[in-house]
Every structure is written in C-alpha cells, then in structure tokens.
Chain A
C-alpha cells in the first residue's frame, strides 16, 4: 500500500470512552447487537487510528442504527445502499477507516447487487454483516438467510426459499476477506475485527446475531452452552483444525470433501488434520469451510479467508497519479484550449 494512503494514527492513546456516543441505545434488551457495539468500542482504540478518521456507514434495519451509537463520523443511509455509500466515501477520502454496519436483508436482499459488486472490486473497507436471519426492524419477516421451512410472519406455513450462505456469496464474488463470529463470543469478535481492519480490501465479518424478539434462538444449535464446543470450529491460522469439548475432533480433507474425524480413532492423529491457511490465494478450502453446517459439521468461526489482492481504491489513486504525471492537461484552462480551436482577433 502506498504511504500516502494509510490512515493517520492517533498521537495519543485512545480508550473505549473516546468512542462512546451520547445517544441512547435503543436496541431491545438482550439483542445481540449490544455485544457487537461493545466489541467495536473495544477494538477501535486498539486499531490506533485518529478518532476523526473512523467512518461508520449503514443502511436501514435494527443493525443499521449502529452509527448513532459510536462517536465517529457516521452516515445512516437508505435500505440496501450502505455499501455504495461507503464506496463513495472511501474513494473520495482514502485516508478514512470505513466501516459498514448492515443486516442480512440490507446487504443480501435489497442491497444484494451492491454487496457482490463491492466485494468483487475489493474496496478497502470493513463490512459487519449482522445476520439474525430475520427482518428485525419491520418486525419479523423472513430474510434471504432464513433457514428453509422457518415459520415467520410472512411464511406462516414455513419458508420455501433456499437461504444464502454469506460466506459462499462472498467467495463467489471473489471476496478477499471473510470471517464469521457469534455475538456470544466478544473476545473472538474483537480479534476478528482487528484482523478485518488490518486487511487491505473488502473485509466481510458475518456476525451470527440473535434477535430476541423475532428469531430468538436461531443460532442456538451453534451457540448454546451445551453444544457450542462441538458445533464451533474456531480457526487459527497455521494451526490444525481441532474442535470439540475434549479437543478430540478435527477436520481433514478426504478426496474432494471435508470430513470430521475423531482424533485417536482409526490411528488418526493431529498430523492428518487440515492446517488452516487463511492467506491462501486459492479460495477452494475456504469455501468448503464457509459452507460447513450442522448437523454433519461444526460451523467455522474466525478468519476463514484473508488473501492479498490489489484494492480498487489504491488503483484509482494510482491511475490518477499516473495521469497527473503524464497528461499535458494540468488544469481546466488546458482542457478548454486542447484540440481544435481557432482565434478571432
């Protein structure tokens, strides 16, 4: 990355208090969004940029109220359009650290087109995708991530749509960064957001968020205390993929598929397991990991993919820099007088 494009760092150490807004937080008590807010307030001072250089953008939805609750520059947009608004902000001022707060409806239904295109372009910003598998703000209609068969206010007999898997969509759109966290694990959330901030390009962090009012417990089979260790594979770069309450389960590659294995059974050892390489340019394994789902597999959490590719905003600046250096047109007067002109004296 070019020196002049980096975000200016704070000269004084910052704390959580620097990002607390004076607005009353109006999410329902018990909503998973509270934990996300607290993670963000924890991670922003750690990232270390000047507090004026953080920019929070959102669309419409419960999740999209987020900008009002952090004391940064903030823009609350319209439904589905957080991603193009954020693109314009980042292109206009690449010195900002731009964060998007968006919902599963906001970015995968009405804003689905913008979501895949921002990812394809690899604009350097961070998208926090609050996936509660429901339309919260409009009071409980199914969303593009609602599991097939779920009864909601607009699917009284159960949905008959195949849900999106956010990770699959990101990888299909050539995403360079995808991570998944649960709202019940603030420590992991903070770590992952730090990684997202470090990544050059579009970072998508899918947060499995609980909506206590309209979809309470949709993530229980992953997050409930009694099952979570067996149903969560927390990925760590460079380490074998081990999970389970007793750390006795692992993931290995068998043929072209992933397989859950029991360590110590059938002479399977840690050496047989897949070692996580989040930086692999090839998204093959990352895609398989993102798609893992119960009951056969645990859900992959942490940074699944973080690959280096050129970013859109860097290339915009490079083209401008080159044009400024080589074009004979240095100002609008030059332009007006270029090409065929004649003079009347």
Chain B
C-alpha cells in the first residue's frame, strides 16, 4: 500500500468528540481543541456531556465524561449531531460514545486501557478492538499511556504524571489530523502551570509526541483542514459559554443602568458558573453573596433591590422551586429582580448535569396567588449575554421580577461571540424617584406603563413602607379592601402584558405563510434552525418562529400562528410551551414533538418529524 502522507483533505466542518473517565481531562483537551480552532478562525460550538458524579467508578460507563466540539468554515448553530472523530480513552468511553460517531468515523483509542478488567467493567463481552465492533470505522490504535511515559520519563517525571497528562498526547494526535499549530495551546500551558514550571515542558513535549506519533504511523492516510470562516462580519470575536455570557450580560446591564450589581445565590449545577464568574468581578463593583440556601439567595436580592441595586439570583430548577414564595414577594412589592434559571432535567434532583426545557410552567405559574412576571428565554450560548441584558432591562424599567430561562446545554456549551461595545447596547433607565418629590406615593403608577417609582432608602423625603401584604392603590398602606385587591391584581397583570409594546415583534425565518410553521423556544434554536434551513433548501414549505420573549409574548404571535396550515412545536419536555400556546391561542391546532432524554435535539430527528407532519393529510 502506498501511503501519501501529504494528502490534506479540505472539509467544511468536523465534529470531534472526546470521551474518557471523569478524571481524564476530556473537558480540558476538548476546550483546548476548540479554542485553537476558534483562534485560527473557525466557527465553533461545543457541548460538555458529563456525569453527575465527580469521579464515578473508574472504567465504568457511568463515569464517562464527554466533550463535543464542532468546527466549521461557515456559520453553525449547534454542536452537531454525530462525530467525525471520536477519542475514546478506555473501553467504557467507547461503549458509551460509539452511538454518537458517524459510520466511517475516525476512532482514536488508547490501547493500553483495553485490558481484560477494563473491558469487563465497561460491559463489553469481548475486546471491541479485536472483534468486528469497529469494522465500519477507521480506527487509530495508539498505546497512548505507554507512549506518554516513554516521552517524558527522562524529564524528571513519574508514571503517574504521564498517566494524568496522556490526554495531551491524544490532543497531539488530533492536532496532526487537523493540521493545527501549537501556539495557543503552548501559551495555555505556560499560563496554567506558572506555579508548577516543570509541567510546562512536559505538556509541550506530550503534545508534540502525539503529533509526531500520528505523523509516523501508517494508520492515518490523510489529514484534514477545516478552513477559517471567511465571510465573518468584521469585528472582534471570542469563544464564550452561555453561563459566562449570562454573567457578563448582567454586568453590562448594571453598568448601563448605573445600578450596582448584587447577586444572592446558592451553588447548583448547571448554574454555578454564573455565581463563580460574578464573584471574580469585584473590580466592576459586583457584590456577590453566597447565601446559606436558595431562599436566602433570592431574599437577599430582594432586599438589595429595595435598597437600589440591580439585584439578581441565579439557580436551576430545584432552586427555582425554593424561591417561589419570595418571587411572589417581588411581584407584590413591584421591585426589579433578575432570576436566572439554568434548566436541567427534573423533577426533583432529576438529571442534574443534563439539559431540559421543563421549567417553563414553573417559571410562568409556579407561585401562590396571581404572580405575573417577565420571562425571556436565551437561544444560544452567545445569546445568553443579550437575553440576560434584556431581562435586566425589562425588569429594571418595568419594576417587575423577570426570569431569564437558559439551560444546561447552552449554559455550559460554547460558541463564538462577536464582542459588542457597551455603548451600542440599548439604554436602561430605571424609574428612580427624586428626593423630596412631594407627589411621591409608593404605588402611584405611570399612566401608560403602570410602573411605580423606585424610592431608594437614604433618599430625603421618600420614607415609605412596602411588603408582602396587599397595598392600597397609590398611597400603599396595607389594604384588605376587596375591590382594591382586584384592582391591584389587574394592574400587576396589565403592567406585564403592556411590556409587549417594548419588545421586538416575533421574527419569522422563512416565508410569511405556507404549509408548516415550526414553533420553538429557548435553547433549542441551533438544531431547530438548522433543520428548518435544510428543509427550506430542499424546497419544503416550512418556516420557523423561535420565541425568545415568552412572557409577554410578542404582539404579532397570533398573526404568525394564523398564517400556516400546520403548526408543530418541538420541545425538550412533554409539551409546556405548546400548553401555553393552547391557553393563549386555543383557536389553532398544534402538533407536538417532545423529547425528554436529557439530550439536545438532533437535526435529523427534527427533519424526520417535520417531514412526517408535512406529509400527513
């Protein structure tokens, strides 16, 4: 066989999936691979897929941690369905991830890890490298662990270090496969190991050893090149995860509104990064309070809001449940409050590290009494920045608590983010009462927006008292008057509905009318958009209305729904948005497509469903 080592195949895009034991550093090398691609100029999207346990039993399927990175030369909206390249550091990772690899995919395995015990623990009956398990794939069998040790044994290191750093050797193989240079990764090692300098040459050596190994073996017949995305808009870019983008969106809203940021929060997967990120940015004046529980988190935020902060609390489903009573307090005191809910699989502890869209009903209705509030749902990792910003803007300007729904998939996934200028973001003008305003009354409302004024403690001439008991219209003293209660409930409801005048109209992707309207919301944008676009390219009559403003709904919602023969609502739950639509627009017939497996939609399964509906009479 003649091997042409210089054959470089140009690809439009590639999906690489890293899989290993939870302690094997798969998230790290996955991120390094994505960052190198991003800095090179590719479009990227990533998605971590990891277990709920920090270190589940070694070599078991339960302990497998995965990281998927998609790189492309054109705009992409999701981390991709199936992988072109799968790195499997042990038999369990192969077992858990083979179903995510395309037929014909390249599979890189660490043969050192395929001993009898590990094979048995993984659930394989026989060594999958020796039977025909992998006959439809192109397999690179590399003794990664022993070669790693070979590489660094003369560098004053030990076998344990070689074992721990063998993920970097695997990364080197990928850098060869994708013709990447080492620059950004070398710089990362220099920064990361500043305090442990001996590890810098060791990691650099392992990266090169993996690369050189791939160059010499005969199993690799060609390498790939995914060219940079050329048509990108001019500007400055970076890679960002949804949770970091959320934190930064809040900081931007705080700066823009002039209201200092306060976060009261309690750690919970997959929302914790927001708390951790904001805790770093004290130089921007962010006050971050890790409370004793979720209730204290939101209550401290309500206190901070009363005192004049742009107050936030961040959590995930179970935490949102604990906050319910306090959210009602923010509703009745008509204070701004930003509640970030990064949805995960429920009910109860459910699937903590997996994603779902099943907190919509809780966000809409999960309170005692009539408790209307604003809901915005972020559509992608980068959009988390704008969704958090918009949530804060609406909440501050309309004196109403607001929930920003993201989810584990977009919160922990990443994509390229075009860096905005803060001066270009829309202004935020909270209605702060002026000192000694003779006409100030706690519940006096703006005639048009029904918004009350925000009187900050310490301000001269505005002493007043508010709280969770119903208050009389205007003067705001405690009132049990029946008609007043009805009036106040209606005011609070109308105030939220009037926000429809201040949000953009619902956008439609595709023709303004036709056969099928796909209605989706929040974090499924990437895959639903891709599926609809592909079908449109195939000449199908399909349009997409992907909702970001959930409450209130955009004013043209009904008009859009009425312009299509059929409607399908794909959701990662058992049908919550569709129920909400049925409540608001009962005149239409809705088809549903529901997936609730802790996994994102695949483009293909969406297309299959949409096509099925199109074909039905």
Interface residues of A (CB under 8 A from B): 21, 23, 50-53, 55-58, 60, 67-68, 71-78, 81, 83-93, 95-96, 113-114, 117, 316, 319-320, 322-324, 326-327, 329-333, 335-337, 339-345
Contacts and interface: CB of A to CB of B under 8 A. Distances in A.
Interface string B454-485: 00111111111111110000000110000000
Residue from A75, A113, A323 having most chain B Cβ neighbours under 10 A: A75
A75 B283 contact: no
A343 B237 contact: yes
A199 B236 CA distance: 52
Contact of B468 (A23, A71, A78, A340): A78
A92 B39 contact: no
15 contacts: A74-B465, A74-B467, A76-B465, A78-B468, A81-B295, A84-B303, A86-B303, A92-B303, A93-B458, A319-B282, A332-B248, A333-B421, A336-B252, A340-B184, A343-B236
Contacts of B300: 84-85, 87-88, 91
B133 to A, nearest CB: 39
Contacts of A345: 234
B465 A67 contact: yes
Contact of B282 (A53, A324, A337, A340): A324
Residue from A84, A323, A327, A329 having most chain B Cβ neighbours under 10 A: A84
A114 B287 CA distance: 19
Given A88-B311, A113-B293, A324 B285 contact: yes
B315 to A, nearest CB: 15
A93 B252 CA distance: 21
A12 B154 CA distance: 79
Interface in B410-441: 419-422
Q: Is the interface of B mostly helix, strand, loop or mixed?
A: mixed
Interface in B249-303: 251-252, 255, 260, 262, 264, 281-285, 287, 289, 291-293, 295-297, 299-303
Interface of B: 35, 38-39, 41, 184, 232-239, 248, 251-252, 255, 260, 262, 264, 281-285, 287, 289, 291-293, 295-297, 299-309, 311, 325-326, 328-329, 333, 419-422, 456-469, 477-478
B467 A92 contact: no
Contacts of B289: 87-88, 91
A337 to B, nearest CB: 6
Contact of A316 (B238, B287, B308): B287
Contacts of B420: 336
A117 B39 CA distance: 46
B228 to A, nearest CB: 9
B302 A340 contact: no
Nearest to A339: B238
Contact of A95 (B281, B458, B467): B458
B185 to A, nearest CB: 11
A30 B289 CA distance: 41
Given A75-B465, A333-B421, A85 B299 contact: yes
A24 to B, nearest CB: 10
Contacts of B309: 88, 92
Contacts of B41: 342, 344
A330 B459 contact: no
Given A74-B465, A89-B457, A340-B184, A117 B306 contact: no
Given A89-B303, A344-B235, 7 more contacts: A52-B461, A84-B299, A88-B311, A320-B282, A331-B284, A336-B419, A340-B239
A89 B304 contact: yes
Closest 10 CB pairs of A and B: A76-B467, A88-B303, A327-B283, A74-B465, A88-B300, A323-B282, A92-B307, A92-B304, A84-B299, A84-B296
A88 B478 contact: no
A76 B329 CA distance: 10
B405 to A, nearest CB: 23
A90 B465 CA distance: 17
Given A91-B289, A96-B457, A316-B287, A68 B465 contact: yes
B184 A96 contact: no
Given A89-B307, A91-B300, A344-B235, A332 B462 contact: no
B468 A77 contact: yes
A333 B238 CA distance: 13
B422 A331 contact: yes
Contacts of B252: 332, 336
Contact of B238 (A23, A51, A74, A340): A340
Contacts of A95: 458
A75 B281 contact: no
A343 B307 CA distance: 41
Nearest to B417: A336
A76 B186 CA distance: 57
A341 B281 contact: no
A323 to B, nearest CB: 4
Nearest to B303: A88
Contacts of B237: 341-344
Residue from B38, B237, B465 having most chain A Cβ neighbours under 10 A: B465
A52 B461 CA distance: 8
Residue from B233, B264, B292, B293 having most chain A Cβ neighbours under 10 A: B292
